[in-house]
Amino acid sequence: MASYMLRRFIGSIIVMWAVATLVFFMLRFVPGDPIAAMLADAGGPDEIEAMKRNLGLDRSLFVQYAIWFQNMLHGDLGNSIYGSRVAVTAVLAEAIPRTLSLSLLAFVIALAIALPAGILSATRRNTATDTTVSLLAFLGLSMPDFWLAILLIIVFAANLQWLPAIGYAPLSDGFWPWFSHLILPSIAIGTAFSAIIARMIRSSLLEVLKADYMRTARAKGLTPWMIMFGHALPNAMIPVITVIGIAFALLISGAVVVENVFAIKGLGRVLIEGILNRDYPVVQGAVLVVSAIFVFSNLIVDLLYGVIDPRIRLN
Amino acid sequence: MKYSGKLTKKMRQLWDEAHDFDPSDPMLGLTGKELSGPKLSRRATLRLLAAGGTLTAAHLMPGFSGMAQASGAPGGTLSCGWAGVAEIQTLDPAKIGQVLQFQITSNVLSGLMHIDASLVAQGDLAETWTVSDDGLEYTFKLREGVTFHNGDPFSADDVMYTFERSSNPEISIHSKNLANVEKLEKLGDYEVKFTLKKPQASFLTKTLERASGRAMTIVCKGALEQMGDAQYGLTPVGTGPFKVTEHVLGQGVVLEKFADYYDPERPKLDKVVIKPIDGVEPIAAALEAGDIQYIGGNPLAAQLIDRFKANSDLIVDIKPAPGFQSVWMNPWREPMKVTDFDKPMEELLKDKGFMVRLALAKALDRDTYVKQAHFGYAVPGYGTINPAMAFYYDEAIADKSQQAFDPDGARALLAEAGFPGGKGFPELELITTPAQKRNGLVLANIYKQVLGITVKVVPKEFSVGIQDFNNCEYDMRLGGSGGDYDPDDGIVDWMMTASKFNGRTRDKEKYAFGYFSNAEADGLIEKQSVTAGLEARKALVQEANQITSDRVACGFLYHPVDVQVRHKSVNYPAESRIPGLHDLDRVTLG
C-alpha cells in the first residue's frame, strides 16, 4: 500500500510538472500581448519596452522558464503581471476557498438529491416513481446551469428577495452570510450533477440487485434496509465513485459560468481571465492547482475503491 | 451658443459679467482668493462655466448654486455594483489602465486639480495657481493641513515624490503624460512650480486631473514604502474623502469616510461597498433585488436601460459620455490602401484606396447603427471631439463632414474604385471584442445593405485584437477611447502621426505610420496644444477634427452616453455628475 501510494504520488508530481511546462510554452505561442492588454488606453512604445524589461518578458523563453521553475520549487509562483502585480499565491488563496465552498456545497446538494432519487428509482423500477425520477433527472441534465442560475436569481433574489443575488461572503463573516450567498449557485451547479449521479446510482444498483448474493441476503432474512445499505449500495458505489471523483474535479475548475452569473471569483474565473489577459504567472499557477486537484482526486478515488470493496487490492 | 433671448435683465447682466474676461488670461480675470477652495464664489463658478463654454440659462436662475447640497441626511452605507468587471485589479494610479479603476480612486486619492460637472478644472490639493505669461510655468500653492489616510501630513514633498515615481516608465504606465514637463521644483513646503518644455493648454485638465490624468494623482510616499507596490495597488493611501479599508480581489472594495478630509462637509456617506459584477443579467438582478443601489464601472449594457427606466424605484440619468468609437481601416491593406494622406483633397479623391475608405465611411448609417446596436443610447459620431466636451464639440460636423451618411455617394465611390455594386470587393475582416460581436454584426449588415459588400466579423479577445491593431495587422477594427475630457485626449492621443495609439508596435521600416498621418492635422493639433485662448483653441481643435474626419483617419461611428442608474433613495447632486466618473463624496441616502 505504502509503495503504491509513493509511486502514485511521484507519478502525480510528474504529471503536474508536465502539464505546467506544456502550459508555460503553449501560452507564449498563442497570439495576444499581455503588455498591450495591460496598457489599454495608456502608454506608448517606451512604456511597452520598459514594462517588458521590468517583467522579464524581454528574456529568452528558456531563461523565463528556468526562472519560473526555480521559483516554483521554492513555493514562489511569481506575481500577476496585470494590475498591482499581486502574488499569484495570494490570488489563488483568495479564489480557492470560494471554489471549494461552492463545490463542496454543490456536491452535498447533489448527493442529497441523487442518493434517495437513485435508490428510489432502482428499487421501484418501472413504476410511476421511477418514471418521475427519470424525467426529473433528464430535466436536470438538460437545463443549462447558467439558465437555471438566472432563473434562481430572478425568483429568490429579485422577486422574493430571500437571498442575495450576487457575491460571496467568507465563512469568517458568519455561517448565514456564507451559506446565503452560496446556496443559489450551489443549487445551479448541483442540479445537473445530481442528475448524473442519480442515473449512475440507478443503473449500478439495478445490476447489483440482480446478483446472487442479493437473493442470498433476502433468503437469510435481512431487512430491506440492511440489504440496501449493508450490501447493495456499497457494491453499487464503485462506478459511481469513479464518476463522482472526476465530476468533483471538473466542478472545481469548471464552475466558471455559474461563478460568472453570481459574480464569484473562483478558481475557474481566475484561470479564464488569466488566459484572456495573457497573465502568464496566474495561468501557470492556476493550472498547477487544477492539475493537482485532478491528480489527487483520482488518487483518492483509487484509494476509496479499496475501502469500499476489500476485494480490490492496491498494489 | 446657449445664450437665450428670454433671459431677464438681471440674468443677462450675470451672463455678460461671466463672459467678461480675457481668454488669454489663465486666471480668467479671477483672483487667487476667488479661486481658493473649498467653496467657490458664485461669480467664480459662473466665470469658470463660461470659460468652459458650458454656462446655460439654468445656471443663472436665482435658485442656482454651484455648491448645492444633496438633500438626504449624512451617514449610511451605499452598495455599488461595478459593471462589466470581475475584479478591481489595481487602484495604484501609476498602473491604472481602465476608467472603472480611476472612477474608484477619484474617491480615494486627490490630485492638484479635479474637473467639475461642467468639465472645468477646479483646485483639489492646489489651493491657487498662477500661470506665467508665456504659458510655461505653473506655480501652485498647495492646501495646508491636509493629511493622508494613514496620518502622514501632505506637503510639496509628496508632489515631488509622485512626479518622480510617475516619470519612471519602469513603474508608471503614464510617464508619457509628463514628457512635456521640463522640471518640477519645490518652492516651499506648500508651493511647487512646474516648468513645461512648451505651452500645453490641457495641462490642468489632462496632466494634473486627479481621475483621468493619473500621472499626478498624489500618492503617499510613507505608505508606499511601508506597504510595497502590490499592497498599495489594493489599498492605496491618499488624501481623498474616502479611505480604502478592505479590498479582496474578486470580491470588492470597501471605502469608509475619511474623517480628516480637508473639506469637513464631505463625505456624507459613512461607507461605500463596491462589488465587481460581470454579466448583464447579474447586475440587473442585483439592483432589482436591492443588493446594490448604484451602478458604476464599465458602460451599462444598452438593453438594460429601458428596463431600468420602467422601474419606478430606479432613477436613470443619461448624459453625453467623454469618448468616441470608430471603425479603423488599415491604410496599408488593399483595397483601402492609402500611404499618403497629405495629398491635396482633390488628388486624394482620385486615389482608389481613398475612394474605398470614403465609401466605407459614407456608408455608415450611424442612426441605424445606434438604434440597432445601442438601442438608441449613443450619439452618432464624426470625429474624436465628443459632445461631453461641450465647448469644443462641433454640432455642425454631422453635416459638414465628408463622412456624413450618403448611401448613393458611397455606392458611386465604390463603383469608381472598381467595385460596382460591391462586385469583386474582397471580404474584409472586422475585429471586435467578444462583447462587441453584436455591434460588429450590425455594422456588417449595414455594409451589406448599403454597399453590397461582405464584412466578416471576427471576435478576438482584447489582448489579441489590440496586438493586431498595434502591429497594423488587421483589415478593420471596432474600437475607440473613453475618459476624454480634454480635446488632447482625442486628437493628440489618436490623430497625430506621433500619437501613442498610431500603430505603436508596428514595423516602422514597413509602415511609416499606423492608421493615419496628415501634416496639416499634425500642425493644427500641435498649435492648439499651446494655445491658451479658448476661442482660438476651439477653432484649431475643430479644424483639426474636421480634417481627420474628411480624410478618413477612420470611420467615426458614435459617441457613447453616460448612463447613471441608481435607486431613488440615493441622492446624487448635479454638481457631482461628472460624465464617466462616480464621485460619491456629496452623495446621501434617504
Give the chain A residue whose CA is nearest to the CA of B95: A83
Whole-number pLDDT of residue B25: 57
Model pLDDT, residue B552: 97
Amino acid identity of A281? P
The H or E element that residue B385 is part of is none
At B497, is the pLDDT very low, low, confident or very high (cuts 50, 70, 90)?
A: very high
Cell triple for A195: 442528475
CA distance B253 to B244: 7
Task: Check if the beta carbon of residue B336 is closer than 8 Å to that of residue B357.
Answer: yes
Count of Cβ atoms closer than 10 Å to residue B294 Cβ: 23
Range name among A27-36, A209-218, B411-420 with the lowest pLDDT average: A27-36
Whether ipTM > 0.90 holds is: no
Classify residue A124: in a domain, yes or no: yes
User: Residues 286 to 305 of A: which have CB under 8 A from any B CB?
Assistant: none
B281 and A34 in contact by Cβ < 8 A?
Answer: no
In a domain, A254, yes or no: yes
Q: Is the pLDDT of residue B450 over 70?
A: yes
Instruction: Lowest mean pLDDT of A87-96, A123-132, A248-257, B299-308, name the range.
Output: A248-257
Q: What does the alpha-carbon distance between residue A275 and residue A30 come to, in Å, rounded to a whole number?
A: 10
- Rounded to an integer, the average pLDDT of B121-138 is 90
Query: B414 with B355: CB under 8 angstroms?
Result: yes
Binary contact (A167, B230; C-beta < 8 A): no
CA distance A208 to chain B (A): 45
- Residue B542 burial by Cβ neighbours in a 10 Å radius (0-12, 13-18, 19+): buried
State the pLDDT at residue A32: 78
Distance CA B493, CA B502 (A): 8
The more confident residue out of B28 and B475 is: B475
Put simply, the answer to whether B285 touches A166 (Cβ < 8 Å) is: yes
- Do A277 and A155 fall into the same domain? yes
Task: Quote the CA–CA distance of B471 and B508 in Å, as a whole number.
Answer: 10
B497 close to B168: Cβ distance less than 8 angstroms? no
| Residue A126 and residue A62 share a domain | no
Does the pLDDT of residue B67 top 50, yes or no? no
The answer for A 83-122 residues in CB contact with B (under 8 A) is 83-87, 90-91, 94-95, 98
- A160, A39: one domain: no
Determine the average pLDDT of the residues in B498-503: 90
A151 & A192 share domain? yes
The answer to whether the CB atoms of A157 and B285 lie below 8 A apart is: yes
For the segment B280-339, what is each residue's pLDDT rounded down to a tens digit? 888 998 999 889 999 999 888 888 999 999 999 999 999 989 999 999 999 999 999 999
Which amino acid would we find at residue B95?
K
Total structural domains in chain A? Answer: 2
Question: For residue B68, is pLDDT > 80?
Answer: no
A269 in B contact zone (CB under 8 Å): yes
Beta pairing, strands B555-567 & B294-297 = antiparallel
Q: Which domains does chain B have, with CATH numbers?
A: 9-60 (no CATH), 77-275 (3.40.190.10), 324-561 (3.10.105.10)
Pick the more confident residue, A265 or B384. Answer: B384
Q: Which of B86, B286, B504 sits opposite A269 (nearest CB)?
A: B86
Write the CATH number for A213. Answer: 1.10.3720.10
Instruction: Tell me which chain B residues have a C-beta less than 8 angstroms from the C-beta of A85.
Output: 95, 229-230, 233
What does the pLDDT average to over A98-121? 91
Query: Is residue A81 one of the residues assigned to a domain?
Result: no
The pLDDT, as a whole number, for residue A139 is 86
Residue B62: the pLDDT is 47
Residue B4 predicted with pLDDT over 50: no
- Name the pLDDT band for B449 (thresholds 50, 70, 90): very high
- The pLDDT, as a whole number, for residue B29 is 66
- Residue B267 and residue B278: Cα distance in Å, rounded? 28
Please tell me the predicted confidence (pLDDT) of residue B44. Answer: 62
Report CA-CA distances (Å) from B249 to B86, B92, B494, B537, B566.
9, 14, 33, 44, 24
Mean pLDDT, chain A, rounded, equals 86
Please list the alpha-helical segments (H only) found in B274-424: 280-288, 305-309, 345-348, 352-362, 366-374, 397-400, 407-416
Integer Cα distance of B277 and B84 in angstroms: 6
- CA A158, CA B122: separation in Å to the nearest integer? 41
Residues A175 and A205 in one domain: yes
Across B224-253, average pLDDT: 94
What pLDDT does residue B118 have? 79
Q: What would the mean pLDDT of A93-113 be, rounded to a whole number?
A: 91
Q: How far is CA A168 from its chain centroid?
A: 17
Q: Tell me the per-residue pLDDT of B163-205, one tens digit each, with 9 for 90 and over.
A: 999 999 888 888 888 989 999 999 999 999 999 998 887 888 8
pLDDT at B560 over 80: yes
What was the pLDDT predicted at B315?
Answer: 96
Stretch B424-430: mean pLDDT: 97
Q: How high is the pLDDT of residue B66?
A: 43
Q: Are A289 and A211 a contacting pair, CB within 8 Å?
A: no
Q: Output the CA angle A262-A264-A270, nearest 5 degrees.
A: 130
Q: Residue B26 pLDDT > 60, yes or no?
A: no
pLDDT reported for residue B366:
97
Predicted pLDDT of residue A228:
87
Q: Write down the pLDDT at residue A11.
A: 86
Rounded distance, CA B310 to CA B315, Å?
Answer: 10
In a shared domain, residues A69 and A101: no
β-partners of residue B253 are B247, B274
- The answer for residues whose C-beta is within 8 angstroms of residue B176's C-beta and 6 or more apart is A43, A44, A46, A47, B169, B500
Number of neighbouring beta carbons within 10 Å of residue B317:
12
Q: Is the pLDDT of residue B452 over 70?
A: yes
- DSSP3 helix / strand / coil % (chain A, rounded to 5): 80, 0, 20
Q: Are residues A23 and A150 in the same domain?
A: no
Strand locations in B249-322, DSSP E?
252-257, 271-277, 294-297, 314-320
Q: How far apart are CA B199 and CA B532, in angstroms?
A: 8
The sign of the torsion formed by the CA atoms of A90, A94, A97, A102 equals negative
A168-172, B117-121, B544-548: segment of lowest average pLDDT: B117-121
Q: What is the pLDDT of residue B504?
A: 86
What's the mean pLDDT in A207-224? 89
Share of chain A above pLDDT 90, in %: 23
pLDDT of the residue at B117:
85
What is residue A31's predicted lDDT score, i.e. its pLDDT? Answer: 79
Q: Mutate one of B177, B212, B216, B249 to test the A interface: name it (highest A CB count within 10 A).
A: B249
What average pLDDT does range B428-438 have in this prediction?
A: 93
With a CB cutoff of 8 Å and minimum separation 6, the contacts of A127 are none
Average pLDDT over residues A6-29: 87
Residue among A81, A166, A182 with most chain B CBs within 10 A, to mutate: A166
Mean pLDDT of chain B: 89
Query: What is the pLDDT averaged over residues B66-70?
Result: 45
What is the SS3 assignment for B104-131? HHCCCCCCCEEECCCCCEEECCEEEEEE
CB contact under 8 A, B98 and A40: yes
* pLDDT, tens only, B382-421: 999 999 888 899 999 999 999 999 999 999 999 999 999 9
> What average pLDDT does range B542-555 have in this prediction?
97
- At A247, the pLDDT band (50, 70, 90 cuts) reads confident
What is the mean predicted confidence (pLDDT) over B36-59? 58
For the CA atoms of B291, B296, B301, B303, the dihedral, rounded to the nearest 10 degrees, stands at 60
Whether B148 contacts B223, CB under 8 Å: yes
Per-residue three-class SS string for B146-211:
CECCCCCECCHHHHHHHHHHHHCCCCCCCHHHHCCEEEEEEEECCEEEEEECCCCCCHHHHHCECC
- Indicate the angle between helix axes A233-254 and A280-308, nearest 10 degrees: 180
**A31 interfacial to chain B (CB closer than 8 Å):** yes
Asked if residue B121 lies in contact with residue B204, where contact means CB atoms within 8 angstroms, the answer is: yes
**Are residues A37 and B463, on separate chains, in Cβ contact within 8 Å?**
yes
Residue owning grid cell 519612471: B168
Q: What was the pLDDT predicted at B38?
A: 41
Chain CA centroid to CA B449, Å: 33
- Amino acid letter for position A247: A
**Is the CB of residue A37 less than 8 Å away from at least one CB of chain B?**
yes
Does pLDDT of A167 surpass 90? no
Pairing, β B455-459 against β B428-432: parallel
In a domain, A86, yes or no: no
CA gap A57, A225 in Å, rounded: 64
Q: Give the pLDDT of residue B50.
A: 66
Residue A87 in any domain: the answer is no
The phi and psi torsions of A36 (rounded to 5 degrees) equal -60, -40
Least confident of A297-311, B133-147, B234-248: A297-311
Mean pLDDT of B491-496: 94
Do residues B35 and B26 lie in contact, with contact meaning Cβ atoms separated by under 8 Å? no
The pLDDT, as a whole number, for residue B10 is 61
Cell numbers given for B556: 467615426
Q: Write the pLDDT tens digit of every residue in B30-43.
A: 654 455 444 455 66
Q: Is the pLDDT of residue B446 over 90?
A: yes
Taking only the tens place, the pLDDT of each residue in B370-379 is 999 999 999 9
Phi-psi label, residue B326: left if phi above 0, alpha if psi -120 to 50, beta otherwise: beta
Are A69 and A104 in the same domain?
Answer: no
How, if at all, do strands B294-297 and B77-83 pair? parallel
pLDDT for the residue numbered B1: 30
pLDDT digits (tens, 9 = 90+) for B336-363: 999 999 999 999 999 999 999 999 999 9
pLDDT value at A190 more than 80? yes
The pLDDT of residue A16 is: 87
Query: What is the four-CA torsion angle of B406, B407, B412, B415, rounded to 10 degrees?
Result: 140
Flag whether pLDDT at B103 surpasses 80. yes
Q: Are A232 and A208 in contact (CB under 8 A)?
A: yes
Q: Could you write out the three-class secondary structure of B207-234?
A: HCECCCCCCCCCCCHHHHHHHHHHHHHH
Residues A119 and A186 grouped into a single domain: yes
Residues A178, A106 share a domain: yes
Residue range A33-42: mean pLDDT, rounded: 72
**Mind spelling out the 3-state secondary structure of B421-470?**
HHCCCCCEEEEECHHHHHHHHHHHHHHHHHHCCCEEEEECCHHHHHHHHH
Q: If you search the block for the grid coordinates 455599488, which residue do you land on?
A: B80
Residues of A in contact with B79 (CB under 8 A): none
pLDDT higher than threshold 70 for residue B27: no
Contact B175 A48 (CB under 8 A): no
- For the cut 70, the answer to whether the pLDDT of residue B6 exceeds it is no
What CA–CA distances, in Å, run from B430 to A40, A296, B67? 19, 45, 47
Residue B69, pLDDT score: 47
At A215 the three-state DSSP class reads helix
A274: containing domain? 95-314
pLDDT tier for residue B55 given thresholds of 50, 70 and 90: low
Q: Which residues of chain B does A277 touch, with a Cβ-Cβ cutoff of 8 Å?
A: 463
B181 Cα to chain A: minimum distance (Å): 16
Q: Are A88 and A80 in contact (CB under 8 A)?
A: yes
Q: What's the pTM? A: 0.79
Q: What is the DSSP letter of B78?
A: E
Domain membership of residue A88 (yes or no) is: no
| A60, part of any domain | yes
Same-domain pairing of A206 and A305: yes
Cβ distance A261 to B234 less than 8 Å, yes or no, reads no
> Residue A215 corresponds to which amino acid?
R
Mean pLDDT throughout A11-19? Answer: 88
Q: Cell 453590397 maps to which residue?
A: B452
Radius of gyration of chain B (CA): 24
**Grid cell of B542 as nine digits:** 475643430
> Hey, what amino acid is at B62?
P
Q: What is the mean pLDDT of residues B492-521?
A: 94
User: Strands across the sheet with B126-131, in order?
Assistant: B126-131, B137-142, B191-196, B181-188
Of B323, B340, B281, B381, nearest to B81 by C-alpha is: B281
Same domain, A44 and A163: no
Asked which of A150-164, B22-36, B193-207 is least confident by mean pLDDT, the reply is B22-36
- Flag whether A52 is in a domain: yes
